[in-house]
Amino acid sequence: MNESVAYLGPRGTFTYEAARSLFPEEGYQLVPCDSIPDVLTAVDQGEFLYGVVPVENAIEGSVTLTLDWLVHHVQVPITGELVYPIAQHLMIHPNQRELPLTEVKRILSHPQAVAQCSGFLREHLPNATITYVDSTADAARKVRDHADESWVAIGSSTAHQLYGLEMVAESIQDYHNNFTRFIAVGKSWTHPHSSWEHQKTSILVSLPSDYPGALHQVLQSFVKEKINLSRIESRPTKKKLGTYYFFIDIEEGNHPRMKKAIADVESWGCQVRQMGSYPCYDYRKIKGS
Ligand SMILES: O=C(O)C(=O)C[C@]1(C(=O)O)C=C[C@@H](O)C=C1
């Protein structure tokens, strides 16, 4: 049997597109899950070899559900990254194609997608109520299943085709260059593509206590080894107000200088969890490979 890959479904989500690029359907069995926690839990429990989830968007920032679930609920290494272009489209049931935008009653989509289009929605659909659902394709499917409702969905062109909807407006996100970073997770280490652009390492750091310069000391450990960090994101520890974990992305693989820098961070009393060292793929180069 083909190796199985769980993704945030149903078919037609942006995560489905990213998963298809990373794990071509000829060699892998792609299985939709209802939510990001479902994908991560299923991989953690060994039901699937790999999982694909969104982690960060260029307009809206972190997908906090993914970060928090990785920190608090599962122990699954990150094994790959793909940055994928995102065009959000507004679509409606064909029975409602004549409906003026001002008469649309409900907009359905994923919170990330709604946030990426907030300016457009404010301007063109000021009278509609927003209903958040688990994914953009879930929104498209619900619009398909409610032919008599004056609802619209925001989602991908794949969802538009799969669910037989009518296109109302294309690329409605508020900024050009909309990209989402997706990660592959899994406990095994084989890779569907042989060529990648560069490697990254993600770590999670918790400070021993809050004192002036604590975070500065952590960063200094990487400066000393001339290691470039590409992202720092703080998330609440959920144990006490004002205490945080720091997600740090490092633009290098796990080589001796990296090990030295991490050992230095630990010597300050910080706890470091290595989330993974992994290849970063370019969607233009792996498409159809
Ligand atoms: O709902 C989808 O289509 C998804 O794949 C989720 C998701 C996200 O959570 O960021 C992925 C990419 C887009 O940024 C919007 C939504």
Candidate from 7, 11, 13 with most ligand 1 atoms within 8 A of CB, to mutate? 13
**pLDDT beyond 80 at 2:** no
**210 Cα to the center of ligand 1, angstroms:** 35
Q: Tell me, yes or no, whether 11 and 82 share the same domain.
A: yes
Q: Tell me, yes or no, whether 74 and 183 share the same domain.
A: yes
- Domain membership of residue 287 (yes or no) is no
Q: Give the strand pairing for 50-57 and 78-85.
A: unpaired
| Ligand 1 in reach of 110 Cβ (< 6 A) | yes
Q: 80 is written with which tokens?
A: 């790959």
- Domain membership of residue 77 (yes or no) is yes
Q: Please, what is the angle between helix 214-224 and helix 256-267, to 10°?
A: 160
| Ligand 1 in reach of 57 Cβ (< 6 A) | yes
Q: Tell me, yes or no, whether 71 and 182 share the same domain.
A: yes
**287 Cα to the center of ligand 1, angstroms:** 19
Q: Tell me, yes or no, whether 254 and 147 share the same domain.
A: no
Average pLDDT across the chain, whole number: 93
Q: Tell me, yes or no, whether 183 and 52 share the same domain.
A: yes
Which of these, 203, 238, 240, lies nearest to 219 by C-alpha position? 203
- Residue 80, pLDDT score: 95
- Residue 209, pLDDT score: 79
Say which residues have a Cβ less than 8 Å from residue 31's Cβ, sequence separation at least 6: 4, 5, 6, 7, 9, 48
Q: What percent of the chain has pLDDT over 70?
A: 97
Report d(CA 224, CA 215) in Å as an integer: 14
**66 Cα to the center of ligand 1, angstroms:** 11
- Residue 70, pLDDT score: 97
Which residue range forms the structural domain that includes residue 36? 3-86+178-187
With cut-offs at 50, 70 and 90, classify the pLDDT of residue 288.
low
Among 161, 187, 213, give the residue marking a domain's end.
187
Q: Tell me, yes or no, whether 44 and 111 share the same domain.
A: no
Q: 107 is written with which tokens?
A: 């907009």
Which of these, 53, 34, 51, lies nearest to 133 by C-alpha position? 34
- Residue 197, pLDDT score: 76
| Ligand 1 in reach of 136 Cβ (< 6 A) | yes
- Residue 27, pLDDT score: 87
- Residue 57, pLDDT score: 96
Q: 199 is written with which tokens?
A: 């490697």
Q: pLDDT tens digits for 74-115? A: 999 999 999 999 999 999 999 999 999 999 999 999 999 999
**284 Cα to the center of ligand 1, angstroms:** 19
- Domain membership of residue 193 (yes or no) is no
Q: Tell me, yes or no, whether 158 and 213 share the same domain.
A: no
**285 Cα to the center of ligand 1, angstroms:** 22
> Domain of 213: which CATH number?
3.30.70.260
> Domain of 138: which CATH number?
3.40.190.10
Does the reported pTM lie above 0.80?
yes
- Domain membership of residue 38 (yes or no) is yes
Look at the chain and report how many structural domains it folds into: 3
According to DSSP H, which parts of 55-154 are helical?
A: 64-72, 111-116, 118-124, 136-145
- Residue 253, pLDDT score: 87
> What DSSP designation does 43 have?
H
CA dihedral 181, 66, 189, 8 (to 10 degrees): -80
- Domain membership of residue 41 (yes or no) is yes
Which of these, 181, 154, 157, lies nearest to 58 by C-alpha position? 181
- Domain membership of residue 192 (yes or no) is no
Q: Tell me, yes or no, whether 71 and 143 share the same domain.
A: no
Say which residues have a Cβ less than 8 Å from residue 56's Cβ, sequence separation at least 6: 62, 63, 180, 181, 231
The burial of 121, by beta-carbon neighbours within 10 Å (0-12 exposed, 13-18 middle, 19 or more buried), is given as buried
Q: Tell me, yes or no, whether 80 and 96 share the same domain.
A: no
Beta strands, E only, 58-178: 61-62, 78-85, 89-92, 106-109, 129-132, 151-155, 166-169
Q: Tell me, yes or no, whether 273 and 155 share the same domain.
A: no
In this predicted complex, what is the ipTM? 0.97
Q: Tell me, yes or no, whether 37 and 94 share the same domain.
A: no
